[in-house]
Amino acid sequence: MGAKREDDEFAAETGEFTVGRVRPCRIVQLNEFSDPRGSLSVVETGKDIDFDIERVYYLYGLPVATVRGAHGHRNLQQLVIAVHGRFEVIVDDGKNKQSFSLDHPSRGLYIGPMVWRDLINFSEGAVGVVLASSHYDEADYYRDYADFLNDARSLA
């Protein structure tokens, strides 16, 4: 993805990607508190994210060359955070596609409905946490990219 650097600069300036026609993907800068005892990052519903957290899951033990995600959601909203190490998230709304490197536990990527996502390029020992707006529901998933594109491109 040759435009990655420009995409990261756009996101840094605006806090928002151009991907996500239902609700734009955006960088969420979390409050971070540090002192000699260590650091603490906080995610608050109604402040940092505007959805209630119904599910939390983590990704760990990831082979460096693996691809995670590879799906879209009809309604689910998520905040993806690299709590250790780094990885790249490619987001695609059927019209626009951008990538973002997550590499700090005080920054997350908001991904709204109708966005396909791929998580790639995991560093050794990377750990990701995902905060989700609803419980697991297989009916909310797009597992086939062609089906996702068909529905995504029909959005106004």
Q: Distance between CA atoms of 121 and 37, rounded to whole angstroms?
A: 31
| In contact, 75 and 142? CB cutoff 8 Å | no
Q: Which domains are delineated in the chain?
A: 4-152 (2.60.120.10)
Q: Output the DSSP codes for 4-30.
A: HHHHHHHHHHHSB-S--SSS--EEEEP
| In contact, 115 and 72? CB cutoff 8 Å | yes
pLDDT by residue, tens only, the chain of 156 residues: 334 444 455 445 555 667 877 788 999 999 999 999 999 999 999 999 999 999 999 999 999 899 999 999 999 999 999 999 999 999 999 999 999 999 999 999 999 999 999 999 999 999 999 999 999 999 999 999 999 999 998 885
Tokens of 22: 């239902």
Q: Distance between CA atoms of 7 and 25, rounded to whole angstroms?
A: 12
Catalytic annotation on 135?
no
